[in-house]
Amino acid sequence: MSKRYEMSQTTLGALMLNNFNLIRGLSIMNSRINIPIYLFILLFLQFSYVHADEFRDLNFKLFDAAEAGDFKQTKQLIEQGASVKARNRMGNSALIYATKSGSIDLVKYLVDHEAEINMVNTRGQSALMMASKDGYFDITQYLLESGAEVNHFSLKKVTALTEAVYGEHSRIVKLLLDNGAEVDIADNTGKTALIYASANGNLQIIKLLLAKTKEVNKKYTHDLTPLMWASGYGKNDAVTLLLNAGADANIQDDRGQNALMMATSAGYVDVVTQLLNHGAQPELKDNSGKSAFDLASEAKNEALILVLKTAM
């Protein structure tokens, strides 16, 4: 039996036994004995096929453990060879699952073991976005301190700030703003953080956003403004904040409607009264030729008819 054949058999045995120190030594010897390179490639391929399923199973178990917030199991799986950089078909990594579990200790452990903080799933969502969405302040703070991109946005152009605002997590909103979050990024539906806050009527968050934005009257999809959203949803206190910040009550959207008309259509007498007191013009008409008074008359809302008639 030739030395070349004996070397090939020994190398195969080393590969099958997962003995990488022996493989390294054999590779050095190979340079002296001149085993064809294709033989080594074939041997490594065989090794890969033997162990691929094992590694895949470890990674799936890692995702499950991280999602459950199981620190001990996650640690054991990584020590056995599971990859912190692996992702499943949805693009989620162990770090994203750990973040959703709410376990700050597990998140720190994964980051310490070189998990990629800014890795995103197939929807473009990052761990920071998940933490902001679910209201995990400590995790959000840690990810920011560890280099998470604060203004990254998903495929739908949703940012961590948008998620925090929509979830009404005011502490996280302030944290993100203090770390450079941009206020005026609009998502795919044309809504900004201020629009979501205005529609929700969360006064604390609206105040935080108004302190950072210069776009209180900027129009977005369908030429809607934050004041229109607050008025249409009957958030009277939010309307007050927006008006005091310089919101224009007479801006009209692409249908010719303004905040006064929207509040009238929805039947909010208190909002209509406040808008009128801040200069809303009751005689303005929309694209169909109707004024707020006309809308109130069609709805037969006597209270609104009286308020609007008095203002005309």
- Same domain assignment for residues 192 and 151: no
pLDDT score, position 92: 96
* Mean pLDDT of the region 161-175: 98
Please report, to the nearest 10 degrees, the dihedral formed by the alpha carbons of residues 242, 244, 249, 250 taken in order: -130
The predicted structure's pLDDT at residue 219: 86
What CATH number does residue 109 fall under?
1.25.40.20
pTM score of the predicted model: 0.80
Instruction: For residues 173 and 225, state if they share a domain.
Output: no
**Model pLDDT for residues 194-224, shown as the tens digit of each residue:** 999 999 999 999 999 999 998 899 888 889 9
From the list 268, 273, 311, 265, the residue with the least C-alpha distance to 290 is 265
- Residue 226 belongs to a domain: yes
Q: Which of 159, 180, 201 is the last residue of a domain?
A: 180
pLDDT tens-digit series, residues 69-106: 999 999 999 999 999 999 999 999 999 999 999 999 99
- Residue 25 within a domain: no
195 in the same domain as 176 = no
The domain tally of the chain equals: 2
Concatenated DSSP letters of 186-227? --TTS--HHHHHHHHT-HHHHHHHHTT-S-TT---GGG--HH
Residues 170 and 206 in one domain: no
DSSP 8-state class, residue 70: -
203 shares its domain with 163: no
Do 192 and 297 have their domain in common? Answer: yes
Distances (CA, A) of 6 to 1, 13, 32, 53: 7, 11, 14, 29
Angle at 207 between CA 272 and CA 292, to 5 degrees: 15
- DSSP β-bridge partners for residue 159: 153
Q: Evaluate whether residue 153 is within a structural domain.
A: yes
Task: Give yes or no: residues 217 and 158 share one domain.
Answer: no
What 3-state class would DSSP assign to 153? strand
235 lies in some domain: yes
- Do the beta carbons of residue 264 and residue 304 sit within 8 Å? yes
Reported as a single tens digit per residue, the pLDDT across 221-245 is: 889 999 999 999 999 999 999 999 9
Share the mean pLDDT of the chain. 87
Asked if residue 15 belongs to a domain, the reply is no
Separation of CA 165 from chain center: 11
Does residue 38 lie within any of the structural domains? no
Same domain for 165 and 193, yes or no, is: no
For residue 30, being part of any structural domain is answered with no
Same-domain pairing of 171 and 198 = no
Query: What would the pLDDT profile of 17-63 be if each residue is shown by its tens digit?
Result: 344 444 445 455 454 444 454 444 444 444 444 345 556 788 899 99
69: its two tokens: 């917030």
HSE value, Cβ hemisphere, 13 Å, CA-based, for 53: 3
Q: Which of 154, 180, 206 is the last residue of a domain?
A: 180
Task: Look at residue 312 in the predicted model and tell me its pLDDT.
Answer: 87
- Domain containing 138 equals 52-180
Rg (CA), the chain: 30
Residues 78 and 196 in one domain: no
Examine the domain organization and report whether 128 and 221 are in the same domain. Answer: no
pLDDT score, position 192 = 94
Please give the structure tokens belonging to residue 109.
């452990």
Cβ–Cβ contacts within 10 Å for residue 55, how many?
Answer: 15
Domain assignment of residue 6, yes or no: no
Q: Kindly state whether residues 94 and 111 are assigned to the same domain.
A: yes
Which residue, 180, 196, 212, sits at the end of a domain? 180
